[in-house]
Amino acid sequence: MNGASQGKRILVVVGDDELRTRLRHSLAREGFEVTALRNGGTALKHVDERPDGVVIDVALPDADGRDLCRALRALGCHAPVLFLTTPNAVTDRMTGFGPGGHDYATKPLRMDEVVARLRELLRRAETEAPAQVGTLRLDPVSRALREGSHEVPLTPTEFRLLSALAAQPGAVVRRRDLVRAAWPEGAIVYDNTLDQYVARLRRKLRAVVSDAQITTARGVGYRFG
Q: What is the pLDDT of residues 178-212, one digit of tens each?
A: 988 888 767 788 889 999 999 999 999 999 888 88
| For residues 138-161, average pLDDT | 82
Answer with the residue of higher pLDDT: 198 or 122: 198
Question: What pLDDT is attached to residue 154?
Answer: 87
CB 105 within 8 A of CB 117: yes
pLDDT tier at 3, thresholds 50, 70, 90: low
* Model pLDDT for residues 37-58, shown as the tens digit of each residue: 999 999 998 888 889 999 999 9
Angle between helices 111-127 and 17-29 (to 10 degrees): 60
Res 99 pLDDT > 50:
no
Mean pLDDT across the chain: 84
Which region among 50-64, 68-82, 127-141 has the lowest average model confidence (pLDDT)?
127-141
Examine the pLDDT at 131 and tell me if it is beyond 70.
no
pLDDT at residue number 89: 57
pLDDT for res 94: 47
User: Cα(186)–Cα(112) distance, rounded to whole angstroms?
Assistant: 18
Q: Band of the pLDDT at 115, cuts 50, 70, 90?
A: very high
Strand partners, 104: 83
Does pLDDT of 222 surpass 60?
yes
Which one has a higher pLDDT value, 187 or 151? Answer: 151
In whole angstroms, give the CA distance from residue 102 to residue 122. 11
pLDDT level of residue 146 (50, 70, 90 thresholds):
confident
The stretches of 30-172 forming alpha helices (DSSP H) are 40-44, 65-74, 90-97, 111-127, 156-166
